[in-house]
């Protein structure tokens, strides 16, 4: 059984190691970020996980995120400009698979969240949810009553 002083010492050592690793990664990433970004842009068209989907009101977008100075490129689905410009009031956006009644999530910055308030925050990443639901929808309204919410965009994978 680990005693409290030993546990505190272990926690402090792990935290110090994590901080040192983060600082090292940030310094390394800062010097290598430009070539990594250029390489990712050169290959971005080759690995779009959403290219097999029929999108209505959504479009695939390639973005970069640099948490702790380590840049990674990723694909996501966002609302088309036409859909995003529409007026929305009194509800929230959420991702819903009507066949199973399952909910997905959005990526808001670097945080996964079930709902977002603004159309500009709708960002769906390639995930277990998008791969296991042949049809999902972005809806606007009350997520507690998903069947009554308005469908604003859809993604469908047709059987081959």
pLDDT in tens, 40-96: 444 445 689 999 899 999 999 999 888 788 888 999 999 999 999 999 999 999 999
Single out the residue of 31, 108, 110, 131 nearest to residue 65, CA to CA: 110
Q: What does pLDDT average to over the chain? A: 80
- Nearest alpha carbon to residue 95 among 152, 42, 53: 152
Task: Give 100-158 pLDDT, tens digit per residue.
Answer: 999 999 998 888 999 999 999 999 998 899 999 999 999 999 999 999 999 999 999 98
Backbone dihedral angles phi then psi of residue 137, each to the nearest 5 degrees: -130, 150
**Residue 95 maps to a domain:** yes
**Residue 38, domain member (yes or no):** no
Instruction: Answer whether residue 78 is part of any domain.
Output: yes
Domain assignment of residue 42, yes or no: no
The predicted structure's pLDDT at residue 108: 87
- Would you say 101 and 95 are in contact if contact means Cβ atoms under 8 Å apart? no
Separation CA 134–CA 130 (nearest Å): 8
Residue 5 belongs to some domain of the structure: no
Tell me the residue range of the domain where 102 lies: 54-156
Domain contains 24 = no
CA dist 71 and 51 (Å) reads 23
Is 45 a member of any domain?
Answer: no
Q: What is the tens place of the pLDDT at every residue in 12-34?
A: 444 444 444 444 444 444 444 44
Total structural domains within the chain: 1
Q: Judge whether 113 lies within some domain.
A: yes
Question: What pLDDT score was predicted for residue 66?
Answer: 85
- pLDDT confidence of residue 129: 94
């Amino acid at each position: 059984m680990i005693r409290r002083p030993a546990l505190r010492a272990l926690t402090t050592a792990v935290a110090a190691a994590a901080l040192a690793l983060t600082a090292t990664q940030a310094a390394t990433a800062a010097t290598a970020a430009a070539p990594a970004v250029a390489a990712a842009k050169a290959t971005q068209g080759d690995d779009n996980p959403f290219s097999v989907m029929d999108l209505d009101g959504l479009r695939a977008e390639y973005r970069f995120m640099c948490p702790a100075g380590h840049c990674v490129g990723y694909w996501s689905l966002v609302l088309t400009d036409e859909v995003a410009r529409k007026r929305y009031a009194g509800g929230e956006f959420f991702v819903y698979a009507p066949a199973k009644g399952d909910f997905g999530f959005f990526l808001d910055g670097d945080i996964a969240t079930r709902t977002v308030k603004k159309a500009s925050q709708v960002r769906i990443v390639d995930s277990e949810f998008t791969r296991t639901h042949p049809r999902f929808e972005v809806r606007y309204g009350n997520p507690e009553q998903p069947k009554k919410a308005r469908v604003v965009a859809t993604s469908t994978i047709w059987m081959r």
